[in-house]
Amino acid sequence: MDILVAAENHEKITSFFVSMPEVDQVLVTGETKTSVRMKSGIEADLRVVTRQEFPYALVYFTGSKEHNVRLRGIAKKKGWKLNEYGIFDGDNLVTCKSEEEIYRALGLPYIPPELREDSGEIEAAEQDKLPSLIQHEDIRGIFHVHTDFSDGVDSLERMVEAAQKFGFSYLGVSDHSKTAYYAGGLKHDAILKQWEVIDTLNKKNSTFRIFKGIESDILSGGSLDYDDSILEGFDFVIASVHSGFTMKKDDMEERILKAMKNPYTTILGHPTGRLLLSRDGYQVDMMRIIDCAAQNHVILELNASPYRLDIDWRYLKYAKDKGVMISINPDAHAVAGLEEVFFGVNIARKGWQESKDILNTRDVNDIKEIFTKIRNAKRHQVNHS
For residue 1, which of 59, 40, 32, 53 has the smallest C-alpha distance? 40
Is 84 found in the same domain as 163? no
Average pLDDT over residues 261-270: 98
Neighbouring-strand partners of residue 265: none
Instruction: Read off the amino acid at residue 333.
Output: H
Q: What is the CATH number of the domain that holds 73?
A: 3.30.210.10
Is 157 found in the same domain as 8? no
**316 — pLDDT class (breaks 50, 70, 90):** very high
**126 — pLDDT class (breaks 50, 70, 90):** very high
Full domain range(s) for residue 193: 138-383
For residue 381, the model assigns a pLDDT of 87
Looking at beta carbons, which pairs linking 161-166 to residues 24 or more positions away fall under 8 Å?
162/335, 162/338, 163/208, 163/338, 164/208, 166/338, 166/339
CB neighbour list of residue 342: distance below 8 Å, 6 or more residues apart: 136, 139, 304
Of 74, 99, 127, the one marking the end of a domain is 127
pTM for this one?
0.94
Q: Number of folded domains in the chain?
A: 2
CA–CA dist 95, 309 (Å, integer): 39
Is 224 found in the same domain as 116? no
For residue 9, the model assigns a pLDDT of 85
* Inside any domain, residue 237: yes
Is 12 found in the same domain as 50? yes
**Torsions phi, psi for 208 (to 5 deg):** -135, 140
- pLDDT higher than 90, residue 31: no
Is 307 found in the same domain as 214? yes
Alpha-carbon dihedral angle through residues 215, 220, 224, 228, given to the nearest 10 degrees:
-170
